Amino acid sequence: MSAILRSVLEASPLGFKLAGSRALGCADPASDWDYVVTGKTNVLGFLYGLGFKEISKSGAYESDVVISVYELKNADETIQVSIEKDAQFKERIIQAMRESDELRDFDKALRGNKDARDALWTALYRLAGWQRKTQCDTCKRAGDDIEF
């Protein structure tokens, strides 16, 4: 059943992307399935229609990137979807973590310590936000019309 739901999420035109330990390549058999999606009005109806329930509102990270988190549990596994203001922003952070053994190892070492992992992700969002702002300022100075 969960494999079918994951396929539905991944095939959806709403843009669900794999996140968490599975996206980082460091999942274990007990790992849940994490997805990220940019918040749009039709995302909530889609998730509710599949049976997802809200488990967290905004404020999970100081960055104010996360809007809410939805979850669907069954006997086999758990699927969580983080609805964010900009899912591509998180995808860039995940890509940077994939390319950095140190960041991936640090994230993995913090498993089971929610406060420490939240602090790590908050720091990563802040760093990525600073880089994103810098990139935008650079584009404006260069006269490019690029949106990040």
Which pTM value belongs to this model?
0.77
Write down the pLDDT at residue 58.
54
Distances from the Cα of 98 to the Cα of 19, 101, 105, angstroms: 11, 7, 10
- Nearest to residue 18, comparing CAs of 26, 10, 30? 10
pLDDT band with cut points at 50, 70 and 90 for residue 52:
very high
Rounded Cα gap, residues 107 and 103, in angstroms: 6
Position 145 scores a pLDDT of 36
> Average pLDDT over the chain, rounded to whole?
80
- Per-state percent for the chain, helix, strand, coil, to nearest 5: 50, 20, 30
Is 90 exceeded by the pLDDT of residue 18? yes
pLDDT in the model for residue 40: 85
Confidence of residue 119 (pLDDT cuts 50, 70, 90): confident
Mean pLDDT along residues 124-146: 52
